[in-house]
Amino acid sequence: MAYQEILYTVDDRVAVITLNRPERMNSFNLRLRQDVVAALKAADSDPDVRVVVIKGAGGKAFSAGYDIKETAIAKDRTLDDWRAILGEEFQFCRSPWDCSKPVIAQIDGHCLAGGLEFALMCDFRYCSDASVFGVVETRFSNGILMLAMPWVVGQLSREKIFTGDTFGADEAMRIGLVNRVFQKADLESETMRIAKRMSRVARACLTWNKRAINQTYAAMGFNSALQYGFEACVMMDATETPEYKAFNALRVEQGLGAALKHLKESFAPFE
């Protein structure tokens, strides 16, 4: 299959999916989302693949989240419209979880908003010491599409979600959001070393163990909780709060840079 927004390679039992929009911080537009879902399905059905690694191109970001230009609000969207739009994004975000094989998020640079949500649905997160994380969408009154963070870091997720603060690799490691932190220069080689070591395990063992672990989460209510989070996101994105109206007005009238500058200045006295 010809991919437009990703690169796909297979190297010694390990499939590597590279989000390839470095000029847009590897943000998720529709084409990229479709490419990733297709690539994960290709890796899942390939008997020569046992482990999948997903990374971002350019060295500055894993992903900054959903492409804010593409997702700009339209005044005439109904609640059903929002549910359909976000439903596609929800299935994209679930795709690493639904892949039967282990999926590793290799994070270098910014991993924000939807990019963080996507990474949290991977089985492992290995990051560079230059990485930055954040549930930043809450600062401009957007919902959290894939509310998986409470299942990864527990109660510590509340402060991250309620403040929208960004934080670095050391903090991500402290709270258990990432599995390992490597120096930037070593991230690629160390991730592939672990992935290839993992790929030496029998494929049936990897897939059955992943299935059993996922089923354990399902038994604890994981899927129901994610669905409730999705519905809350639909309601939030369909609600024009005063904060979002101010942000979106600046975005439309003066551009995204001005809107983000306004947002930064609003929080600056309390950082």
Q: Tens digits of per-residue pLDDT, 163-188?
A: 999 999 999 999 999 999 999 999 99
Q: Mean pLDDT of residues grouped by 10 in the chain (271 residues)? A: 95 98 97 98 98 98 89 70 93 98 98 98 98 96 96 98 97 98 98 98 98 98 98 91 87 82 91 90
Q: What pTM was computed for the model?
A: 0.95
pLDDT tens for each residue of 32-59: 999 999 999 999 999 999 999 999 999 9
For the chain, domains (ranges, CATH) are 6-235 (3.90.226.10), 240-270 (no CATH)
Q: Which amino acid is at 139?
A: R
> Looking at residue 75, what is its pLDDT?
58
Angstrom CA distances, 142 to 21, 114, 156, 202, 236, stand at 23, 11, 20, 42, 6
Neighbouring residues of 200: CB distance < 8 A, sequence distance ≥ 6:
13
- Structure-token pair, residue 37: 């879902």
- Cα gap 61→28, rounded to integer Å: 12
- Structure-token pair, residue 216: 């354990």
